[in-house]
Structure 1
Amino acid sequence: MKFVISGFYGLGNTGDEAILESIIDNLRDQFDNPEITVFSLSPEQTAKEHNVKSVYRAWRHSNKEKVKALREADLLISGGGGLLQDSYPTKFLFGPLPYYLLIVLLAKLCGTKVMFFSQGIGPVKSRWGKTLMKLANLADFITVRDQYSKELLHKLGVTKPETVVTSDIVFAFKRKEDRSCIESLPIKGEEKLVAVSVRPWFGREVQFEQTAQILDYLIEEKQVTPVFVPMEGHHDWDASEKVLSHMKHKEKCLMLGTDFTPNQYLNFIGECQLTIGMRLHALIFSTLMGVPHIGFSYDKKVESLLKRSGMWEYSSVLEEINVEDLQTNGKYLLENHDMASKIITENAQSMRGEAVRNLELLKENFVK
C-alpha cells in the first residue's frame, strides 16, 4: 500500500517525531514494503532519518508534489498527535486546525481515503475553529487517543465517520537500545536521576519557580540529581533555564542536549527514578519505561494520560499546583518506586495493546 502521513513533523518536537517513528515502524511491521510519504517541514532530514519519501508540508511551495503524492496514495494518515486544536491562533488559512483539515480536503479531492489516526482532539473554542471542524466529517475512519477526544468530536458535530478510542501510537514505539544520553552526562552511575521536562505555556511562568522548589526539596531530602530533558529544542532549553534561575541547588542539576532522537530520550528516561514535568510525551516515555511520574496538566490530553498511567493522584492541574503536596508526592514515589512502577507497567501494557489496535483498525477498514 501507499501511504501519505500528515502531522507536526520536521519541526524538532520530540513527541511528534516519536509519533512519526512509531507509525512508520508499525506500518512496516504490518505491511510488505509499504510506500510511505511524509509531509514534513524538513523533508530532506525526514527522508534520511526514516528512509521514506518526503514533501515540504507548508503551502509556500511544493503544492504540486503534495497533490501528486495524495493522488498516488491509497490512504492519508492524518496524525497522530494533537493536530485539531485552536490553542494557537486560527485565522482563515493559518494555524494547525485549518492546515490539517485542508490537507484532508485536498486528499478527498484527489480521491484518496482518509484516516484520522490516534489523534488527540481540542481544545476548539473559536467560532471559526468550530465551523472548520465540520470538515472532519470527510474522514473515512477515526481513531482517537482518549475518550475526551471522542466526546469533543461528537460535541463539535463530527459524527459521520466511525470513531474508536485507542491510545497514543507512541505506546507502540519500538525501542532500540541506545545510551547516548546517559553517556553524554558527567555522572558516575550511582546517582538517583530525576528527569525534568518543562515547556513554555503562553507566557505563564509561575510553574518554573514551583518546579524549582520541588526539585530543591528532593535534592535536600533524597539527594537526587535532576536532569532537564529539552524535548522541543531551544523552547524547552529556555524554559529549563528559567527553572534553574530559581533554584538554590542548581549546581546539582544537569541538562541534556537538544539534538537527541526520541529513542535516545526514551532510553534516558528509562534510567531515571522519577519524572517531573509538563511534556505529554515525556510522561508517555515514563509510562512506557515504568518510571513513576508527576505531571503538570496544562491540557486535557495530559490529565487523560496521567489517569490512564495511574499517576494522576500524584500530579496536578498546572494552575492548581501545591508545592508542598508535590514535594511530598515526589518523596513518596522515590521511596515506593517499585510499587508505583508495577502499577504503571501494567497500565502501559494495556495502552500498548490499544496503540497496536490503531494498525488493526487501519487494516480492517482500508485493506481490500
Structure 2
Amino acid sequence: MRALLSGYYGLGNGGDEALLATLLQMLPPSVTPVVLSGNLEETRKRYGVEVYERKSLLEVTKALRSCDAFIWGGGSLIQDATSALNPFYYGTIMAIAQKMGLKTVAWGQGIGPLQRPITRWLAKTTFGSCTRVSVRDRVSAALLSEWKIPHILAPDPVWALESQPLPGLSDLPAPRVAVTLRNHSQLTPDRLHNLTRALVDFQKATETFILLLPFQKNKDLSIAEGIKAQLTEDSKIICVEEPQILKGIYRGVEMAIGMRLHSLIMAAAEECRCFAISYDPKINRLMEDLDLPGWDLASLPDDPNLMSKAWIEHYANGEALSQDRLKFMLDRALIHREILFESLDTQTS
C-alpha cells in the first residue's frame, strides 16, 4: 500500500516536522509513504521518502493517483484563524482523495478555530467521510461529537517521537534552560523587551546556561538573536533541523520556557520542567491537561521582576511530570499508531 501524507511539511517548522517524523515512525511496515512538501530536496534527503510539490495541483493529483490512501498528517491543519485558505487547501485534497476512493485518515488532528460557516461545513463534510479520525485534544473531540463523527482522542503524537541526543550538548556548561519564543502580533516590542529583561535577571539569579531554540527560523531566529545580544556569554542559539535531535535536546536541560506547542510537548516528554507562554488555545489546553504554569501572551505581566521571580520559583521548586504520568501520555499517544495499523496495514486488514 502507498499512502500520501499531507501536512505543513518542508516549510521549516520544527513542530510540523516532528509530526511528520512521528507519522513515518508509526506507519505500518507494509505501507510506503509519499509526502507532499514545500521543500522537496530537504524532505527527500531527511526522511528518504518519495516527494511531490504540495502547492502544485498537477503534482498533488499525480501523487493521489499513485496512492491507495491519504493521510492528514497531524496538527492544526483545519483552522481558519491564521488563514481562511487553510481549510480549503487541506479540505480540497481530502475531498479529491475521497472522491477517488482512497482510504482516508485524519490523524492526530487539532481542529479549529473555525470562525466561518463555510469552513465549518467543509470540515464537517470531510471529517465525516474519513475512514478513521484521531484528534489530540478535548475541544476537537467535542466538536466531532457534536457533528456525530466517530473518532479517537489521544495526546499529540509527538509525545511518542523517538528522541536522539544532540552531539556536543554535554560539552556546554550546566545547568541549562531552553527558551523558545516565536514571532506573533501580540508579542509587541514592549513585551519582548520585558521578557528579555526577565531572562537576564533569571540567568543572573540561577547561573544557568540559556539555550535559545528557534523552532522555525524565519519566525523565531531574529527574536533569539535579539535576546542573545542581551545575555551573558553563557548562552547559545541552537538551530536543529532533525526533529528527533530537537526533542533530544530537552533531555539535557533542567527547565524549558516555551511559546510553541511542540517545544512544551517535547520538553515534558523528556522529563523537563516547563513554563508556558500561550498565544493559542491549543497551548492553553496543554497547560490545563498537564497543570503547567504560565501566562497568556495577551496578559503577560508588565513587570520583568515578576516574570523572573516566577521562573526562579519554578526552576527551584517546580517538578517534571511523574513517571506514571509520562507513561500514561506515551501509552495514550501510541493509540495514533493503532489507528494507522487498523486502517492501512494490508497484513492485518
TM-score using structure 1 length = 0.85
- Mapping of residues 59-208 of structure 1, within 5 Å: 59=56, 61-69=58-66, 72-73=67-68, 75-90=69-84, 95-136=85-126, 137-154=128-145, 158-159=147-148, 161-179=149-167, 182=169, 189-202=172-185, 204-205=187-188, 206-208=190-192
Q: Secondary structure at the match of 1:83?
A: coil
**After the TM superposition, which of the residue ranges 10-19 and 123-132 deviates more from structure 2?**
123-132
How far did 1:366 drift?
Answer: 4.9
Counterpart of 2:332, as a letter, is: E
CA distances 1:85-144 after superposition (whole Å, capped 9, x unpaired)? 112231xxxx22111111110101110121110111111113432233233322222111
Residue among 203, 207, 211 paired with 1:227: 211
Identity across the alignment (%): 23
Q: Secondary structure at the match of 2:29?
A: coil
Change (3 A) 1:152 1:12: same
Q: Secondary structure at the match of 2:334?
A: helix
Residue among 235, 245, 267 paired with 1:253: 235
CA distances 1:283-324 after superposition (whole Å, capped 9, x unpaired)? 11101111001111111111122233332xx21111122355
Check the 8 A contact 1:266/1:285 in 2, yes or no: yes
Check the 8 A contact 1:315/1:326 in 2, yes or no: no
Structure 2 partner of 1:18: 18
Q: Secondary structure at the match of 1:219?
A: helix
How far did 1:154 drift?
Answer: 4.5
Check the 8 A contact 1:227/1:254 in 2, yes or no: yes
Unpaired runs of 5+ in structure 1? none
CA distances 1:16-48 after superposition (whole Å, capped 9, x unpaired)? 111111111121xxx334211111112232222
Change (3 A) 1:305 1:203: closer
Counterpart of 1:221, as a letter, is: A
Structure 1 segments, 4+ long, off by >4 Å, are none
Residue among 267, 278, 284 paired with 2:259: 278
Aligned residues: 342
Instruction: Report the Cα distance in structure 2 between the residues aligned to 1:208 and 1:60, rounded to whole angstroms.
Output: 40
Check the 8 A contact 1:309/1:347 in 2, yes or no: no
Instruction: Report the Cα distance in structure 1 between the residues aligned to 2:252 and 2:203, rounded to whole angstroms.
Output: 18
Structure 2 partner of 1:358: 336
Structure 2 partner of 1:41: 38
How far did 1:145 drift?
Answer: 0.4
Instruction: Report the Cα distance in structure 2 between the residues aligned to 1:207 and 1:61, rounded to whole angstroms.
Output: 45
Change (3 A) 1:221 1:192: same
Q: Could you say which structure has the greater relative contact order, defined with CA pairs below 8 angstroms and 6 or more residues apart?
A: 2
Structure 2 partner of 1:328: 309
